[in-house]
Amino acid sequence: DGGITQSPKYLFRKEGQNVTLSCEQNLNHDAMYWYRQDPGQGLRLIYYSQIVNDFQKGDIAEGYSVSREKKESFPLTVTSAQKNPTAFYLCASMVTSGGPQETQYFGPGTRLLVL
């Protein structure tokens, strides 16, 4: 089945620790995105990538880092510089060739909690 997978489903971070969230897609989509979701707030864009080996900061990139070495994969690292990391993290992907297929599809999410 084609889709977007995120792992783990739950992740616990200790003080001063960097953690990496995985996002993989087999939809052959060019663009990939990371969002953060907090209660009562809309999805906020952390980073996005429209092509392999290239990515741009979103609205709340501080304390996060990404890489895009393969088309299928877009991992997100939450660094110790992110002081309030507890949130639900969503990965999305989108085809960018034009037309009605240009819709962002989401993975199941990873909930990050701080110990």
Partner 1 sequence: EDQVTQSPEALRLQEGESSSLNCSYTVSGLRGLFWYRQDPGKGPEFLFTLYSAGEEKEKERLKATLTKKESFLHITAPKPEDSATYLCAVRTDYGGATNKLIFGTGTLLAVQP
Query: In the complex, which residues of this chain contact partner 1 (CB under 8 A)?
Result: 4, 6, 31, 33, 40-43, 45, 48, 50, 56, 58, 88, 90, 94, 96, 100, 102-109, 111
Name which of 73 and 105 has its Cβ closer to partner 1: 105
Q: How far apart are CA 33 and CA 45, in angstroms?
A: 7
Q: How far apart are CA 22 and CA 40, in angstroms?
A: 25
How far CA 26 is from CA of 1, 16, 66, 82, in Å, comes to: 9, 33, 19, 30
Report, in Å, the least distance between residue 73 CB and partner 1.
17
Asked whether 78 and 64 are in contact (CB, 8 A), the reply is yes
Report, in Å, the least distance between residue 100 CB and partner 1.
7
Report, in Å, the least distance between residue 50 CB and partner 1.
6
